[in-house]
Amino acid sequence: MEPKQKKRSKQKSRSFDAPEKLETVSFTESSEVIEARLKQSPKRKSGVNVRDVYKIGRTLGTGGFAVVKLVTHRKTMKQFACKIMRLPEANAEVGENENTRADVFREIEILCGIEHENVIYMKEFYEENNRVYLITDLLTGGELLDAVMDRGMYSEADACFCFKQIVSGIAYLHSKGVVHRDLKMENLLLASPDDITHIKIVDFGLAKASGKLNCRMGTICGTPQYVAPEIIESAESYAAYGKAVDMWSAGVVLFILLGGYPPFHHDNESVMFEQIRQGKFKFDEEVWNTISSNAKDLIRKLLSVNPAARCTAEECLQHPWFSGRPSNVPLNATSENLKKNYRKQFQEDSAKLPEDPVE
């Protein structure tokens, strides 16, 4: 988690209205089943109050139905981030884009089982008074996108270095049977300021742990600009999808890192969904004249409409772009595009935990 008191206006992760239909098959477990497993987790701390172990400090960020606080371990004085989420009653009705009890426990269970240098780490969690407290890494570097825009010089070699870390994190998650389902620039954070050598994938609120690499999912979710075509198609055909959706999102991220703008964009979401379904993107802007053919080839392999033909994370890491020598020449046009398209007026995030205060 990271101390972001302000952030740019951005697209929310959500269940979205794909063309014509929203209904689909969903493969889920009840909160009772997941909760029973979590009771056996060594990361679940029971018999002690979180405030007895940590001093809860200032708010680092708010969003959706959670708040992130700075906490300090009372014995070691080491600082962490604490994500606090409301825990609904079992089988309680929630809003369309709110977390159910099962959703909350599913996110916690996924975080309990993962540990990788490019993925957010959860140290432990507490359950008290219909809330859960997730103690995680304190990430102080903010968003990767902001760091890229603030760099005095930004090159294709920098983009390659960043993207390899991202794909390494994805490859690890897929090896553990976890599909993130909401990979986007806003969910790529730096461990420390101005340091692009340590990128972390965060926010597992929409992630799914299949337990099997060939497990198929059917929930319509994600952030529209990054969503894979098979997720949109599943709204109409009830077809399931797999971990390849993360690689499509990775392709969108790479396109943005190199071009400075998204491959699919339109004010009308339905039109944008049609662009995605057809895989309609181009390298026709002048900015792409200075980008290597290897980089563009990798983007094409990631933004393949056919998920079976799309690069897997492991295949991606073997691509010649990573083993080659990407240029260190400054991508001035890319930097300008990023500032023009993403450097918007900062505003307070007004989303807060409903009702009871958490302090």
Per-residue pLDDT tens digits for 268-300: 999 999 999 999 999 999 999 999 999 999 999
Higher-confidence position of 39 and 24: 39
Lowest-confidence segment of 2-6, 44-48, 108-112, 223-227 by average pLDDT: 2-6
pTM of this structure: 0.86
Confidence band of 48 (pLDDT split at 50, 70, 90): very high
CA–CA dist 25, 359 (Å, integer): 39
Q: Which of 68-72, 214-218, 350-354 has the highest mean pLDDT?
A: 68-72
Split at pLDDT 50, 70, 90, the class of 215 is very low
Tokens at residue 223, please?
A: 């952030």
88 vs 28, 101, 235, CA distance in Å? 17, 5, 27
Question: Choosing from 158, 182, 203, 246, which is the catalytic residue?
Answer: 182
Helix, strand or coil, per DSSP, at residue 6: strand
pLDDT value, residue 224: 87
Average pLDDT on 325-331 reads 94
| Cβ 180 vs Cβ 201: under 8 Å | yes
Query: 63-77, 86-100, 159-173 — which one is most confidently predicted on average?
Result: 159-173
Lowest-confidence region among 172-181, 288-297, 344-353: 344-353
Reply yes or no on whether the pLDDT at 259 is more than 70. Answer: yes
What pLDDT is stored for residue 23 in this prediction? 31
- By three-state DSSP, how is residue 56 classified? strand
Higher pLDDT, 342 or 210: 342
User: At residue 162, does pLDDT exceed 60?
Assistant: yes
For residue 357, is pLDDT > 50?
no
**Helix (H, G, I), strand (E, B), or coil: what is residue 103?**
helix
Position 356 pLDDT exceeds 60: no
Give the Cα separation of 202 and 189 in Å (integer). Answer: 7
The answer to which of 95-109, 195-209, 224-238, 342-356 has the lowest mean pLDDT is 342-356
267 counts as catalytic: no
**CA pair distance 250, 131, nearest whole angstrom:** 33
- pLDDT of 344 strictly over 80: no
- Beta carbons within 10 angstroms of residue 36's beta carbon: 11
Rounded mean pLDDT of 235-258?
Answer: 86
Residue 62 pLDDT exceeds 70:
yes
User: Is the pLDDT score of 329 beyond 90?
Assistant: yes
Asked if pLDDT for residue 22 goes beyond 90, the answer is: no
pLDDT at 308 over 90: yes
For 4-32, give one letter per residue: b (16+ CB within 10 A) or e: beebeebeebbebebeeeeebeeeeeebe
| pLDDT of 89 | 83
* Structure tokens belonging to residue 266: 């339109």
